[in-house]
Structure 1
């Protein structure tokens, strides 16, 4: 017995100290099988941890699910926890099902990580099935289990269920409040998110950094600058350091609320920044139509050794578009296409270029980009062309684009209205009647006196262009 204990200690030491590659993991696995040590909970836990570190979790599953008749609950909890962090879909639920079939009863350590995996996978129906077990086993009042279920509801968009469960919880902590705020934020109910944040203060619950980041994001999306300033003051009063996540959230809030100067002051105060921080500044300047300044910050970012990502390039091209910096936009886009930034342009980058050229009246060049790009043109691109061609008074181009939009979405009333308005402005009343007839055939009824076309990528959220 003592000899086996010494051997167990040696295996654990090797796993913790000397296991540095997948080959080492496999060698140790062979020794565990040879010495029949897979049932040892200490060895199992450390072996699972090592396997997770070397991306071998899937390959070790049979060791515990096939070679042990009835593994200890601790082993299954360790497996579910490891897989929940590895984001391998459905495996934690499969492990839980295996437990159920083999009469291995879960405890309150089982469910938080199981619900975490269901939240990450947006598996609402499965979470409801698991919750029936939670209630049956008497773990429904455990705050950690309830918090993890709250997260499932929030992630899956069931904010009313999230609120209902929150109200029914006998005990709540900062995580409970934060998840509810996140749920409202993810559902676009930003005012409700901020109301819950206020209620949290009245309840005497001290927010953490995650709470603050989500509250600031709700302020940014709703334009609630007063609340955003209050949160900033609270951060200062409590002496919190502006780490990269919290500082970036503050910058994003200020620039989206039109306070670019305040956002830049936060940026300069921060000790550590990453690409997300720089992106927040550049996007804010793009929204403020400060294209020249956005390019200066873009250059500073590159000079500082921060590698631009896809979001950065969308932001800087958008800044060029809104400020009419056609030549600069062309140059940046050509460098992107040539591979300077280490990735190929995606559909959003092309949409920004089309918008830039269309705004500048370069309709043929914009159309050529759409024709030659490796993607199908989007509604946003055609919308940019329509706006550009109308502003140039180019009827033929406008008609062509409007007809394309009708072809893309034959049930969208707004596009028929665009086409009808074009014909009406040119006095082509027979074509107006023809468009009306097409609408009647499809049972599309709309006042033809007004309409709008939404442009997705290159304009601030919620902005629609009246025609």
Structure 2
């Protein structure tokens, strides 16, 4: 018995020091010859070593072929290890092996599986697993229910998420946070805030994750009063403004037009990251304070925080709103030349084209459009359309409107835009062609479409900023 313990202990100490697949294979052979491979602690150590070296397939093969009836703890460890990999079918295959070999899953098995399926948005398999859980009588466990709730929220099925939530015998902070987060992800910000209020009435104390999601919903919904109330709660409870919570507050204040309060929060944070700086710069961009946005961008670079794609979108957007053409050109040129470690995306081109178009640099805007390797988006074409109308360049407006028709052939508003432009240019034959095209495609001019151009141009800023 003492020899058995010594051998087991020695193997456990050797496994973490493995540096190659050959080392693991050698130990695996010794495990089998000494009949130690079925020990749960050894199997778990084998899984950990394989995970460290990205050789989980060896652990998977070992558990399924060398252990006739592995312990449920071992299976759970293997499922958890694979849930962090990019192979979504393996956790389910392990669970299938468990059912075939009569290894009873426990309340730790299902949360891991639901989490894995949520990461890959696998709704169909999630519903199948849901059925298994009910049949096995595990549906009353709060950890299982919370993980199922998160799966449905991740898949955008808030109807199923809400059904699980409403049927829960007990709800904790994780349950409420999952519901709020799910509504926010789906863009149902009012429902997210209603759920947050209901959480208060239920007497469940929120945590930092709850507050971050509630603040994000406040920012998107423009619920400044609720956001201020949340900030007061954070102060009252004496919570530390960590990176996530502080950034959420800055984004809420900046998005709701309270940039001064956003600056106070920013200055009070001990730790910041790129997302924190982006939230502040975004606030200045929305406030149309381009000079301040550019100044803070410069300070961000001085303090050696790496700018990402979002940073450049926000800065270029700020330049566009404030007419900082030369500054925008300089930043965009640096982006093209690889200063920031990535090339401009279609959003960066959209901001730059909007900047040039607003400033009346129409030829340069069209040149920028032709030089980009992306297909023009609705935002880009909207910028050119608005600029053409503002600066009296009807051919440019015609070009943009025609491209919008190609982009969304089922949108009658664009046909009306194009028809109105042709009428303004006196090109009545083209007006008739557009009307014939609408008739052929069974498109009708909606009531109020005469104001479509003005409404569309008013939305251009929002499109570019997205």
TM range (shorter): over 0.9
Matched, 1:280 2:279: yes
CA contact (8 A) 1:219 1:253 kept: yes
Q: 1:239-258, aligned counterparts within 5 Å?
A: 239-258=238-257
Deviations 1:292-351 (A, max 9, x none): 100100011000011111111111111111111111111111111111111111121111
Map of 2:442 onto structure 1: 443
3-state SS, counterpart of residue 237 of structure 1 = helix
Describe the shift of the 1:77–1:320 C-alpha distance in structure 2 as closer, same or farther (beyond 3 A): same
Q: Which moved more, 1:86-95 or 1:218-227?
A: 86-95
Map of 1:82 onto structure 2: 81
Map of 2:141 onto structure 1: 142
Map of 1:300 onto structure 2: 299
For residues 10 and 207 of structure 1, the distance between their equivalents in structure 2, rounded to whole angstroms, comes to 46
Aligned-pair distance for 1:31? 4.1
CA contact (8 A) 2:386 2:457 kept: no
Map of 1:214 onto structure 2: 213
For residues 147 and 128 of structure 2, the distance between their equivalents in structure 1, rounded to whole angstroms, comes to 14
Describe the shift of the 1:171–1:254 C-alpha distance in structure 2 as closer, same or farther (beyond 3 A): same
CA contact (8 A) 2:379 2:464 kept: no
Map of 1:320 onto structure 2: 319
Picking from 456, 460, 463, the partner of 2:462 is 460
Matched, 1:3 2:24: no
Describe the shift of the 1:24–1:388 C-alpha distance in structure 2 as closer, same or farther (beyond 3 A): farther
3-state SS, counterpart of residue 460 of structure 1 = helix
Q: Which moved more, 1:70-79 or 1:453-462?
A: 453-462
TM-score scaled by length of structure 2: 0.94
CA contact (8 A) 1:324 1:356 kept: yes
Map of 1:377 onto structure 2: 376
Map of 1:121 onto structure 2: 120
Structure 2: give runs of 5+ residues left out of the alignment.
none
Aligned-pair distance for 1:406? 1.5
Matched, 1:227 2:229: no
Aligned-pair distance for 1:38? 3.0
CA contact (8 A) 2:335 2:343 kept: yes
Aligned-pair distance for 1:269? 0.2
Aligned-pair distance for 1:91? 1.9
Describe the shift of the 1:34–1:324 C-alpha distance in structure 2 as closer, same or farther (beyond 3 A): farther
Describe the shift of the 1:424–1:354 C-alpha distance in structure 2 as closer, same or farther (beyond 3 A): same
For residues 304 and 19 of structure 1, the distance between their equivalents in structure 2, rounded to whole angstroms, comes to 40
Q: Which moved more, 1:189-198 or 1:67-76?
A: 67-76
3-state SS, counterpart of residue 376 of structure 2 = coil
Map of 2:344 onto structure 1: 345
Q: Which moved more, 1:295-304 or 1:65-74?
A: 65-74
RMSD over aligned Cα atoms: 2.2
For residues 443 and 209 of structure 2, the distance between their equivalents in structure 1, rounded to whole angstroms, comes to 47
Matched, 1:335 2:366: no
Aligned-pair distance for 1:60? 2.7
Map of 2:385 onto structure 1: 386
Describe the shift of the 1:339–1:463 C-alpha distance in structure 2 as closer, same or farther (beyond 3 A): closer
Aligned-pair distance for 1:120? 0.9
CA contact (8 A) 2:401 2:414 kept: yes
For residues 329 and 164 of structure 1, the distance between their equivalents in structure 2, rounded to whole angstroms, comes to 49
For residues 184 and 210 of structure 1, the distance between their equivalents in structure 2, rounded to whole angstroms, comes to 14
CA contact (8 A) 1:380 1:454 kept: no
For residues 465 and 372 of structure 2, the distance between their equivalents in structure 1, rounded to whole angstroms, comes to 26
For residues 30 and 420 of structure 1, the distance between their equivalents in structure 2, rounded to whole angstroms, comes to 78
CA contact (8 A) 1:22 1:56 kept: yes
3-state SS, counterpart of residue 438 of structure 1 = helix
